[in-house]
Amino acid sequence: MGVEVLTLGDFDIVESGRSLMMDGSRANKRLELLKYFITYRDKKLTPEYIAENLWSDSDIADPKNALRTQVFRLRKMLDDMGLKSDGEGGGENHLGISFQNGFYVLNIGKNCLIDAALFEDNIKAADRARNKDPDQAIEKYKEAIRLYRGQYLADISDREWVFTIRNRYHRLYVHSLISLFELLKTKGRSREIVEYFEHAVSYEPFEEALHVFFLEALLELGEYKHALSHYNYITGRMYREMSVTPSPVLKGMYRRIVAGGRDIHSTDISVLARNFSFDDDMEGALFCDLEYFRTIYNLEERRSLRAQNKECLGLVTVTTESPEVSQDKLNGATETLKTVLKESLRRGDVFTQWNRHQMIVMLTDVQRDALDLISRRIRKRFNDKIGEEGLSVDISFKPIAADKKPFFA
């Protein structure tokens, strides 16, 4: 049985399912040196180059001598793991360091497998096969994806030398996912797209193309409720964490979702009713994404042209005058405000998040003299939940009416 060197995710060296890493060897200079040699396994490395990359920010007086010492200790560590490290053939499970003509070289036995190398080989094989043999390409992409357990050398967080190669492997991972999904989509294998996406999203949460494939697969499977739930989740998260609004592609996906299978050639009214009936506890106000809110607002504007309406638009803002209130507390207060609005408004009312600390609300069939009461109720419940001095909410309302300069330009 061979030795596996695991680099995609947390680092480990495994034989027959058992880690060869010793308790004291997981966080030291020897181990970082080994990770460096593995990363640049196809290169001959001068002592000066290694020392500059690993210890440029340290005050080591004699880097070359320090490197010789660490290489000696690394060889001993590999021997203690049962890996012959003299660099002279070393056996099939060999993993060692040799010094040849002024260069350090990593020696790898034929039964010593590095997951990152297998990962690349599988992707290259899949790319070559995708036009001539799509089924083989699918299997190779799957093999590559299964090897990816997280960022390259995820246990190294602050070393510059690893960043470029880490980003490269991550790009290859995203490439393999997109390529796999393209092939699976062509073959109508939507369930597999869903399964692989749900595993991959923890490693790549924001790649839009992956979410589009996932949403399309859900629509093909008729899972409209899950598609809408996921659309709301990912667009909301992108806005909260990256201040990114939905792209035209995602907006197009949203229209397909709410259409509930409009592009199916034949249907009946009961099927339409089931598709449009999303899970909702029907209690309190409805929270929706900004695009959906915009549609409802436009509808109310149109209604105002026909008859006097009693709908109001409101803007609710979390504010502070205290410099001691952190950004995290402000963000937390905004999340609390969502709960307050859902509990304080009625079933027919709608609200959405306008920006990081503001919510827009739409009140239906409301009397103007009730607005002060609604404002007081929101403020009181917000203050009761927050209990934080220096945080408050500002609330303003205006009637909804057709306007030459609409709120949503």
User: What are the sequence ranges of the domains in the chain?
Assistant: 3-110, 205-279, 286-399
- For 3-110, CATH number out of 2.60.120.620, 1.10.10.10, 1.20.120.160, 3.40.190.290 equals 1.10.10.10
**Could you tell me the CATH superfamily of domain 286-399?**
Reverse transcriptase/Diguanylate cyclase domain (3.30.70.270)
Run means of pLDDT, 10 residues per run, the chain, 409 residues: 90 91 70 94 91 78 84 89 60 79 90 95 98 97 98 91 96 98 97 98 96 96 93 90 87 86 53 56 79 84 74 91 80 90 90 90 88 92 82 90 57
pTM over 0.75: no
* Three-state SS annotation for the chain: CCEEEECECCCEEEECCEECCCHHHCCCHHHHHHHHHHHCCCCCECHHHHHHHHHCCCCCCCHHHHHHHHHHHHHHHHHHCCCCCCCCCCCCCCEEEEEECCEEEEEECCCEEEHHHHHHHHHHHHHHHCCCCHHHHHHHHHHHHHHCCCCECCCCCCCHHHHHHHHHHHHHHHHHHHHHHHHHHHCCCHHHHHHHHHHHCCCCCCCHHHHHHHHHHHHHCCCHHHHHHHHHHHHHHHHHHHCCCCCHHHHHHHHHHHHCCCCCCCCCHHHHHHHHCCCCCCCCCEECCHHHHHHHHHHHHHHHHHCCCCCEEEEEEEEECCCCCCHHHHHHHHHHHHHHHHHHCCCCCEEEEEECCEEEEEECCCCHHHHHHHHHHHHHHHHHHHCCCCEEEEEEEEECCCCCCCCCC
